Amino acid sequence: MAARKRQPGRPAPRLRLIRSSVARRRGCSILSVVDTASSKPADIVLSMASGQTLTADVNPARQFLALPPKLLQELWRTAEAESCGLALEDFGPILASVGEKLNCGLALGTHPNDNQRAAFLRTLHLPDLALAHACALGREVAWERFLRLYRASLTRAAVAITGSATLGQELADSVYAELFGLRTRDGQRASPLASYTGRGSLMGWLRATLAQRSVDHHRRTHRETALEDFDAPAPAPAEACEATDRLTEALRRTFRSLSAEDRYLLSAYFLDRQTLLQIARILGVHEATISRRLKRLLADLRKRLLGNLQSGGLSKRAAEEALGADPRDIEINLRALLQSSQTGPFSDQAAGAAAASESL
Amino acid sequence: MSEVLQSGLHPDADELCAFVEHALPAGERERTLAHLSVCPECRAVVALSLPPVDEAARPSREPARGRWFSGWNLVWSTAVALSATILFTVYVYRAATISGAPAQVASSRPAPRAAAPAGPSGSRESSSANLQPISPSGQNSQERATAATPRSAASAQRQQSMEANAFMGQNLAVSAPPSAMEREALNSDNMLKTNDKATEAKKTASTAAFGVAGMEVLSETQAQTSLPPGSLPSDRKIVLGAANAPMAKAAAPLRAALPPPAAPGTGNETVALAGAAAPVIVSQEAAAAPAMAEEPALQPQRPEGRLPSRLPVVSMAAHERLALAIDTHNAVFVSNDAGKHWKAIRAPWTGRAVTAALISTANARAPASWTMQTRTAGGLFSGETPPAGNANGSLSGMVTDATGAVIPGASVVVVHSTSRAARAVKTDSGGRFVVSGLAPGAYDVRAAAPGFRPAQLAGVTVAAAAESVANLSLSIAASTQTVTVTTAPPAEPMDSLSATAKPSAQALPGGEIPVLFEITTDSGEHWTSGDGLKWTRK
């Protein structure tokens, strides 16, 4: 690997963290650099513990995946990439970057062998992947096909998300313009389609993108109301303060001990007021299962809360009394408690999870 | 770019989409869930990016709807099997009801021609297309099984009664499947018309030419007659054709005396025949009985009406309107209306009936192979009186081979006994021939076909306005014998000119049916009956 200093004139590429645990163990972090506009592999930047930064030209298609020609040919045929205007040599790097990005669906830090690689690549939505990346590369044939297949459903989905025909049309148009790469980043057209990896369907990806843009738009336009949630609670009476603090501390500890799915369940059901059906569809289980799990979860929560209160110095009776207090009398921002039970940016969580999985 | 989309802070669309579609690996899913539990925006994104409910629910509903009946592909196969069964049933039913024997038409067999056609007839026959002198092949004929039944049917009614005629015409064990019979009837209609035209033509033609032609041909044939003695039953009366030679010669000077066909009723013959109140049954003994005794029984026949058992007919005998049939189950049926309605008869015999035949009472010992019957109007069938005004008679018949199969294309020459005026016709595809417009009188009928010995039937009486029947049977040209059968009215001399024909030995009492039905069983018994109902063992 020929390492060299990062040239100052080069545009700042979009960074994506990979193999952070390995890097951390060696005292440096390895950042792969993927040019999102062309989806071609760029440099690898080594940020050393000493603060020195090294950049290396790496071709992931060569380094990560020397795909057997037979497999590549087969995947290329399955993806119908030719009809999207993607040649075999265009498709190889795309597969390579996807495999590199997702580490072939394996836990971070493990190195996939050839069989795992082939199996992972076969599970992808290959036609969607080829179409999306061909569109990102600006192939006319691919865009025609994309329009034919997705333009109508994109508008429908936007209307369904916004709940209004005009807003939906507006949203769909803006997302379509964005996909087409009207936004430029550092002088280059950047299409979000290049970030599509083919794990889910392209329609699902489009729907998620629409939802993101919609939520983003809503957040920007309703910033004032959204901030209310983050207001500090009103000053509590002095005598209630101690009990509240104890209860808050117990709640925080209890929430923290819950699993991610349970916390998601509580948030979605109680904070977002999602229906049992919605949660069931997101989690991929039956409605009744969600209902039972919620019931069990609440009982368990109460038990744990009691235990936490007792461990905080309260007698059992006092703890039950504290729980039995009228919630209207207690000034606790449960929302903030539940939301802040695990903080930090998503990448840090990912790093933590990766570290946890590697330590196992 | 909003901070929602900022990498590192929130999962990107790709990850959320994979999460919603449950495509994330377990570790990544856990991570995403952990983020979702604290990030209301991403929860909202996930909730919004769910596919619509109807899309998700659609696949689960459709199979439920079609569950109660999912066997449409079975319906097709069932329908195919059902139709195949129906077709098979129809086929079997038809195969069971249609007679197994196909129409039997005797084909002319190659036979050595001993002599070239005699008689310088080429120039003379040009006057009429139908005039064809017999071209004798130099072989003698053996004659048997002809019957002439002059039926007093008006010529206007002929076409209507033709079908019945076709059935009754073969009242003596002549086997022909029904299809052949119907065809024959149709052909007879056509032939009738052509013959009428021929009659017109004949009126303009010289009758002398006919007479000379016929006479010469006949004379030459008779000159070559020889008879091998071993081939004929000894109890038959055989009248050699040589006896006809003087008759033919005698007829030659008399042909000028033949009354013109357009003026019937003035000639002696017509008067004699019309005045003959008593039926004149002329029976003659013919050869070829051994062949007939076995073979007709094997020829399946079909009446017009179907048997009640709906089985093919094994053997059938018919006489006038009375018919007797044996089906493949050896059941015996009798019909009084020419086969339209059948009645099963209880068998007095012990074995199974095998053969139905007709025998003549005059010759009751041998199964019937005869013949010829001539009846005048007002005789047996008094209902069939000839309508006045039509003085010409006609002669029809059928030419068959020894097995009873019809011979199409056989030459038939009808020669007036006295005037020697001859008319020649050919049999149609059903083996039938019709000569109409004949002056009443006695006629000699000759038939010849390549590969067969010519046969002659002498003394067929044609009455005015009546149709006579003369059936001829030709045997295969294997030997060189000829038998000429002459008939003459037994009761009264019909004509002085027919005196050369010897009268038959048996003179039957008038009004009595001269034939009997005979049933032969498989045990060899012979049962006879006059009406098909009362049977007596012979």
The pLDDT tens digits of the residues spanning B423-478 come to 888 888 888 888 888 888 888 888 888 888 888 888 888 887 778 888 888 888 76
Query: Strands B322-327, B332-335: parallel, antiparallel or unpaired by DSSP?
Result: antiparallel
Residues of B in contact with A174 (CB under 8 A): none
> How many whole angstroms separate alpha carbon A306 and alpha carbon A326?
16
Residues of B in contact with A210 (CB under 8 A): 48-49
Q: Which residue has the higher pLDDT, B485 or B533?
A: B533
Minimum distance, in Å, between the CA of residue B90 and any CA atom of chain A? 55
Mean pLDDT of chain B, nearest integer = 61
Minimum distance, in Å, between the CA of residue A108 and any CA atom of chain B? 9
CB of B235 within 8 Å of a chain A CB? The answer is: no
Minimum distance, in Å, between the CA of residue B24 and any CA atom of chain A? 8
Q: Distance of alpha carbon A237 from its chain centroid, rounded?
A: 41
Residues of A in contact with B19 (CB under 8 A): 282
Q: What is the pTM for the complete model shown?
A: 0.41
Q: Which of A221, A282, A339, A358 to mutate to test the interface with B (most CBs of B within 10 A)?
A: A282
* CB contact (8 A) between residue B33 and residue A357: no
What confidence category does residue B80 fall into, taking pLDDT thresholds of 50, 70 and 90?
very high
Classified as helix, coil or strand, A123 is helix
Q: What is the pLDDT of residue B93?
A: 93
* CB contact (8 A) between residue A282 and residue B46: yes
* DSSP code at position B356: E
* CB contact (8 A) between residue A211 and residue B52: no
Q: How much of chain B, in percent, has pLDDT values that exceed 70?
A: 44
Place of tokens 């009103």: A234
Q: Which of B3, B14, B35 to mutate to test the interface with A (most CBs of A within 10 A)?
A: B14
CB of B57 within 8 Å of a chain A CB? The answer is: no
* CB contact (8 A) between residue A195 and residue B11: no
Helices (H), chain A: 20-25, 60-63, 69-78, 88-102, 114-123, 126-136, 140-162, 165-180, 202-221, 223-228, 238-257, 260-266, 276-283, 287-311, 316-324, 334-339, 346-359
Q: What is the pLDDT of residue B66?
A: 52
Minimum distance, in Å, between the CA of residue B52 and any CA atom of chain A? 8
> How many whole angstroms separate alpha carbon B255 and alpha carbon B248?
10
CB contact set of A346 (below 8 Å; sequence gap of 6+): B8, B9, B10, B11, B31, B35
State which amino acid sits at residue B489. Answer: P
Q: Which of A75-89, B102-116, B119-133 ranks highest by mean pLDDT?
A: A75-89
* CB contact (8 A) between residue B7 and residue A197: no
* CB contact (8 A) between residue A264 and residue B36: yes
Q: Which of B19, B50, B60 to mutate to test the interface with A (most CBs of A within 10 A)?
A: B50
What confidence category does residue B406 fall into, taking pLDDT thresholds of 50, 70 and 90?
confident
Minimum distance, in Å, between the CA of residue A238 and any CA atom of chain B? 30
The ipTM, to two decimals, is 0.71
What confidence category does residue B79 fall into, taking pLDDT thresholds of 50, 70 and 90?
very high
Q: What is the pLDDT of residue B150?
A: 41
Residues of A in contact with B11 (CB under 8 A): 346
Per-residue model confidence as pLDDT tens for chain A (360 residues): 344 444 444 544 444 444 444 445 555 444 445 454 555 555 555 555 555 555 554 444 444 556 788 888 888 888 888 888 888 888 888 888 888 888 777 777 777 788 888 888 888 888 999 999 888 888 888 889 999 999 888 898 999 888 889 989 999 998 888 888 766 666 666 788 888 888 889 999 999 999 988 888 888 887 655 444 544 445 545 555 677 777 888 888 888 888 888 888 888 898 888 899 889 988 889 999 999 999 999 999 888 888 888 887 778 788 777 777 666 666 667 777 777 655 444 544 444 343 333 333
* CB contact (8 A) between residue A350 and residue B20: no
CB of B47 within 8 Å of a chain A CB? The answer is: yes
Q: Which residue has the higher pLDDT, A101 or B20?
A: B20
Minimum distance, in Å, between the CA of residue A315 and any CA atom of chain B? 32
Q: What is the pLDDT of residue B84?
A: 96
φ, ψ (nearest 5 deg) of residue B416: -65, 135
